[in-house]
Amino acid sequence: MRIIAHLDLDAFFCAVEELYTPALRGVPFAVGGSPDGRGVVASCSYPARMQGVHSAMPMAQAIRLCPNLRIVPHRRGAYTQASRQVMAKIREITDQVEQISIDEAFFDLSDQTDAERIARDLQLDINQTLHLPSSIGIAANKLVAKIANDYGKAQKRDGKPPRAFTVIPAGKEAAFLAPLTITKLWGVGPKTAERLAEIGIRTIGDLAAQDELKMLQRFGQVGYEITRRARGIDKRGIVTERETKSISQETTFSKDTRDKGELQQVLRKLSQKVCDRLQKKGFVAHTVKIKLRWSDFTTLTRQTTLPTHTDESDVLIQAAQKLFNTHWQGRPLRLIGMGVSGLESANQQIGLWDHDWEKERHVEDVLAKIKEKFGDDAIKRGAK
């Protein structure tokens, strides 16, 4: 049983601006670009939200909705600094912290004796010492913790920071999600929502009631994944920063070798191992590197950046082999290694609402899961 918390600072950029300019408190204002150019609202104060302004809206439109809107230029350094202070406070509680944006993080409270109390104290501490309002959602997994927090924040619309605190008890995930509109679910953007509406699915509960194999047949892997999510199932762990930097694997030969066939085979095996770990952790990688060490201990590392983030083994193995073929000129090798970096959690890429899910993961991966659950026959029927 896990206890995951999701913390989100309330109108973060605006809250930081209010620290510098207290006169902004209680006033409709927005941080962002000028309305003359193509400026958009990066963040807006709660009084501005009351008048219909929201983030990502063109600033010109925001001014039309809220003529007395004050515009404050973006001040990146200050936000980064405040963000670091907040994240440091979370890390005092646990090292199992996954920062997903400048003002949002998941953290694992499973080992705490009183998770709710610790989270409440954290919220209070951030408010009292850093003067930043925040909201927290707590649930048995990341998916539900995040949706719970968004839900809790949306309940308060009084022109003040919500400072919400929402807990979904274990076992109540599906019941909590059921009445919510389908677009609240990660991975369901407007396009997917439209397709779902065509077959009468409008709430998360409607989707949860579907047969996941039928959804797989109809919508591909996205259908399977979102049906499981609709039931509140999400097994992804916390992805800490240290782990996200890179994944690599290397082999030192017992005897130096210049057998090209052998070297290529070993490189392929190492790459496959790296790829397995990448997929297991739910990451996609942007950079592939190889490491070669000659008999005299001199070491060469070479890397290449892929056109897009991926966890596809074929793509990663090919990139490693291309590097090897380019940089190995036949000298005996003592060590060979392969690694990936520039990692992002696959869910971070889903993050925004209209993601092309079909590309996100391999169908085989899903088929394997189904096989595990329903046996081989299910696959034959389902994949026909």
Q: Which residues are catalytic?
A: 104
At closest approach, how far in Å is the CB of 156 from Mg ion?
14
The residue (of 8 and 311) whose beta carbon lies closer to Mg ion is: 8
The residue (of 62 and 136) whose beta carbon lies closer to Mg ion is: 136
Which residues make up the interface to Mg ion (CB under 5 A)?
A: 8-9, 12, 103
The single residue listed with the structure tokens 């070297």 is 263
At closest approach, how far in Å is the CB of 34 from Mg ion?
23
Q: Rounded to whole angstroms, how far apart are CA atoms 320 and 133?
A: 46
Q: Rounded to whole angstroms, how far apart are CA atoms 12 and 53?
A: 15
At closest approach, how far in Å is the CB of 15 from Mg ion?
9
Exposure b/e, 171-180, CB count within 10 A at least 16 = b = eebbebbbeb
At closest approach, how far in Å is the CB of 64 from Mg ion?
25
Q: Rounded to whole angstroms, how far apart are CA atoms 284 and 341?
A: 9
Q: Rounded to whole angstroms, how far apart are CA atoms 263 and 279?
A: 24
At closest approach, how far in Å is the CB of 125 from Mg ion?
18
The residue (of 17 and 212) whose beta carbon lies closer to Mg ion is: 17
For residue 344, give the amino acid letter. Answer: E
At closest approach, how far in Å is the CB of 9 from Mg ion?
5
8 Å CB contact between 378 and 371: yes
Which residues, 6+ apart, have CB-to-CB distance to 85 below 8 Å? Answer: 130
At closest approach, how far in Å is the CB of 126 from Mg ion?
12
Instruction: Report phi then psi at 177, rounded to 5.
Output: -75, -35
The residue (of 132 and 247) whose beta carbon lies closer to Mg ion is: 132
The residue (of 136 and 207) whose beta carbon lies closer to Mg ion is: 136
8 Å CB contact between 228 and 212: yes
Among the listed residues 358, 54, 353, 55, the one whose alpha carbon sits nearest the alpha carbon of residue 190: 353
Which residues, 6+ apart, have CB-to-CB distance to 266 below 8 Å? Answer: 251, 336
Q: Rounded to whole angstroms, how far apart are CA atoms 362 and 366?
A: 7
The residue (of 83 and 249) whose beta carbon lies closer to Mg ion is: 83
Helices (H), the chain: 12-20, 46-49, 59-65, 76-93, 115-129, 142-155, 173-177, 190-198, 204-208, 212-219, 221-230, 241-244, 260-280, 313-327, 346-350, 363-374, 376-383
What count of other Cβ atoms lies within 10 Å of the Cβ of residue 242? 8
Among the listed residues 313, 303, 300, 307, the one whose alpha carbon sits nearest the alpha carbon of residue 246: 303
The residue (of 103 and 311) whose beta carbon lies closer to Mg ion is: 103
